[in-house]
Chains A and B, each alone.
Chain A
């Protein structure tokens, strides 16, 4: 998100999901859409099969969408800047870029152009392992189509160079005049139901609601007044990953964790466990007794989506209702009640009759949500920014003008990942999800339905690598990194390239995040889940 915010001025999907039906070409990278966003994938399929769109897939794994693609590029994990620069090099050389758009709507093109000069197809092919002719084909498909849409997800962002990857995709879209147009755009698919909303509503250390900076005096004055407090902290706080390090060093003494399970979702779990155990006080609010709750001093039972009213904001910035269907179990309470009661006990009154009343307060202090009323979203689909009650919302961002004024080209060079495979750890481990499970499995591993379909963790290993290791399908392997080791059943496959292992992170019994590297992207502070070095041995 930091990458798009810097490039365009707004870190969110630029276009609605259904817009891919208007695209002449779709470039899909770092998103295994059919498994992680299956309904979005339906639109990609419809675009290709019924509307004739050309699909370019760039992914180290042979994901299902490869079957629908005109061309599939298989880069070595962590080499995204190189192939993106490579495509742009070809597009400029073949004069497929949109000069008028670049001149009228963007800035920084000359520096950027000098930077990508050296990314010749030969050079890029050497770094990425992508054949030269495939680079040409992909560049021509994207460069010749108008409009063309780019879709990406965590396969692009979860790298130490994730922000660079995103900025590079922004460069590519601007180069061909594809931002601010229907059927185009740069579209990060959000992996969790309300990750967009949590960002929008200020659950970030540097911004209040609607991305209003904590460092801005007038913003803080507005919120101080609205909230009736004397002053608000002006320096950005710690990000999730920094919080745990600070807990270890003693700077952070207490944590309040609501609806998260870092003891399974965060990188280098042994380290996280040590950090959490260093805390003086931990309170966890959740619906299940998660791995993180087990470490708490106090556990507060919250309620799930079916037991409360409110709104979620989806990946395309659309604000939609959540409605209470059943009562909460036992003494579990709505999260908003718990937070309000805590505030009350600490001497601050924070009482609301219902979630609608909270939205009304949000609207007062958040320009991009100012026109989002419950009554309106009952009847209409509204995507932010929605500046007033007679504003229709903004399905497509950056039409005619970027949020930041002119779109900014960044000159970006390829950098290697934090941890490269070597003699001792010869494989690259990459992590992700499978269709049947979600995140840390807290919800999807309950009940019988989904677990019939995917009952146990499987590590994808390339058949040829498996043959060299003497592995058969279903053998157990030990996968180890510099940080830890897990024992897991092997699934022999062609989906994963030679030298690469894919392991989902849903299973606490063999938590792959014991192995992952907590090296961070310097800007977005995203951990490098997609690349770390591991060794693989047959387990006894």
Chain B
């Protein structure tokens, strides 16, 4: 692919000619505000936030969907562009309720950030209230139709990233809305939830459990399959109240499956084992660690002495960490003295 040279806000830059103005600006270190654009999807072009001026053209153009050309001069910021962006946001706010105090997205909402950035304190426009359905494709995600700004990120992600198309747009123009067209195909992966730039899609298990700025986010590795997705456990008061992802972290690039995103409830389950148990006369009784470990050590030592180390066998775990697996096999080999150690790799 051959290269072209252009100027963005006075900065000269050479990029491959298949790039968009938005991509070129990013390379040049120039930020253009965006709302519907998402790195992993084809440009949607629904929000008009990324408009730029190209010298010689009277109409501003969407930077996300316009390819670079040799010799063009691009302006990303001007009085006119500022007003266009303000207007675009105001048109969104005509329908979008400012219920930020009770919105789970408050504090990490792209729309909220942009409204703040563009200093919008009143909306002069009015429109009849939309009457939209709040049904959604999965019970694990709640759809708040009033908050939906019709950016189309969710339907694009479902179609392009997941190749599923469980949700789509129905209706035209002002009357259009997101509907679940194939709820049977929905995998509840939460790709739509992850890319929603407002609080129109929220996680239904953790609703109202904590605000983004009071919960802690701990980056870790998923506990389910072998993909090794990177995810953030959202923690409040020693409880995991949700799972989030970052676009730039790990093989999953922000995606997760239904287990990774919603399968965290077991952590805080009240069925977790909390005390050592010892079987006495056929019944389990709670015990202290000292008693339980002394019993195990005593029994293993006795059997080793009477029948040899190979009379003991042990199963380690593909659930446990590398460090724990290492210690476990070290214990079995160095302390018990047998190679009878395996795990569930074959199952």
Q: Contact residues of A with B, CB < 8 Å?
A: 1, 16-18, 34, 36-40, 42, 45-46, 49-50, 68, 157-158, 189-206, 208-209, 214, 223, 227, 229, 232-233, 235-241, 243, 246-247, 251-260, 262, 265-266, 280-281, 283, 286-289, 293, 296-302, 304-316, 318-327, 329-333, 335-336, 338-343, 345-348, 350, 352, 355, 358-359, 361-362, 435-438, 442-444, 446-450, 452-453, 524-527, 529
Task: Say yes or no: is B297 at the interface (Cβ < 8 Å to chain A).
Answer: yes
Q: Are B343 and A260 in contact (CB under 8 A)?
A: yes
Residues on A with C-beta less than 8 A from B77 are none
User: Could you show 21 A-B contacts with beta carbons less than 8 Å apart?
Assistant: A37-B226, A42-B252, A45-B163, A194-B320, A194-B325, A196-B226, A203-B325, A237-B338, A243-B340, A258-B320, A259-B318, A281-B299, A299-B273, A311-B322, A313-B228, A314-B227, A327-B238, A335-B321, A339-B327, A345-B296, A362-B323
Residue contact A229 to B345, C-beta cutoff 8 Å? no
**B312 in the interface (beta carbon within 8 A):** yes
CB of B137, distance to nearest CB on chain A (Å): 11
B347, A45: Cβ atoms under 8 Å?
no
For B219, what are the chain A residues with a Cβ–Cβ distance below 8 Å? 321, 323
Q: Is B213 an interface residue (CB 8 A)?
A: no
Question: With the chains together, A289 CA to B296 CA distance in Å?
Answer: 18
B60 at the interface (CB under 8 A from A): no
Q: A214-B339, A240-B343 are known contacts; what are 15 more A-B pairs with Cβ within 8 Å? A: A38-B255, A158-B346, A191-B225, A192-B226, A193-B318, A201-B325, A254-B300, A287-B272, A306-B220, A306-B233, A316-B228, A340-B327, A342-B297, A436-B188, A450-B262
Beta-carbon contact of A256 and B274 below 8 Å = no
Complex Cα–Cα for A252 and B313 (A): 7
B10-18, B26-34, B91-99, B302-310: which one contacts chain A? Answer: B302-310
Q: Is the CB of A253 within 8 A of B303?
A: yes
Inter-chain contact B223/A443, CB cutoff 8 Å: yes
Contacts of A252 in B (CB 8 A): 310-313, 340
Asked if B4 CB lies within 8 Å of chain A CBs, one says no
Scoring B251, B278, B299, B330 by chain A CB atoms within 10 A of each residue's CB, the highest score goes to B330
* B329 in contact with A305 (CB, 8 Å): no
8 Å CB interface, B212-250 against A: 216, 218-230, 233, 235, 238-240, 250
* Bound-complex Cα distance A288 to B319 (A): 13
Residues of A within 8 A of B316 (CB): 198, 203, 258-260
Q: A201-B325, A227-B334, A327-B238 are known contacts. Are A192 and B276 too (CB-CB below 8 A)?
A: no
A260 x B331 contact (CB < 8 A) = no
Residues of B near A288 (CB, < 8 A) are 266, 269, 271-273
Chain A residues, Cβ within 8 Å of B226: 37, 189-196, 314-315
How many angstroms between the C-alpha atoms of A296 and B228 in the bound complex? 32
Min CB distance A476 to B, Å, is 23
**Given A232-B334, A281-B303, A300-B276, are A312 and B322 neighbors across the interface (CB < 8 Å)?**
yes
Contacts of A436 in B (CB 8 A): 188, 258-259
Chain B neighbourhood of A198, CB < 8 A = 316-318, 320, 322, 325, 343, 345
* A45 CA to B251 CA, complexed, in Å: 15
Could you tell me which residues of chain B, from 125 to 166, have a CB within 8 Å of some CB in chain A?
Answer: 138-140, 160-163
Taking the complex as formed, is B277 at the interface, i.e. its CB lies under 8 A from any CB of chain A?
yes
